[in-house]
């Protein structure tokens, strides 16, 4: 097992035109395809918040995807913070 194969956690804030463009649903689909657990939700300031756990390489791919997002999104910034792994997630949920 290499370091890139280790399990990690990340908290992500995505800013820009990311609400009303299916960003949450697209994030869920992308995260599930990468085998990640966690959740995504809209914040009142217009940004999107993501909490994800899984293989480090998959998390890196999710972060890279966040910079583009779905068609219609205009991403201005993606801020990431590593967080402890909770292992509390089964699947990847959209939170309201």
Active-site residue, 61 included = no
Could you tell me the strand order of the sheet in which 74-83 lies? 74-83, 7-17, 48-55, 37-42, 92-95
CB 67 within 8 A of CB 78: yes
Active-site annotation holder among 17, 41, 42, 61: 42
Active-site annotation holder among 24, 41, 61, 76: 24
Annotated active-site positions, please?
24, 42
């Amino acid at each position: 097992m290499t370091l890139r194969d280790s399990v990690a956690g990340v908290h992500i804030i995505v800013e820009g035109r990311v609400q009303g463009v299916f960003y949450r649903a697209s994030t869920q689909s992308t995260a599930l395809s990468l085998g990640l657990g966690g959740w995504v939700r809209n914040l009142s300031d217009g940004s999107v918040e993501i909490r994800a756990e899984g293989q480090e390489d998959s998390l890196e791919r999710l972060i890279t995807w966040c910079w583009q997002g779905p068609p219609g999104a205009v991403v201005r910034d993606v801020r990431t913070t590593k967080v402890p792994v909770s292992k509390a997630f089964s699947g990847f949920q959209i939170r309201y």
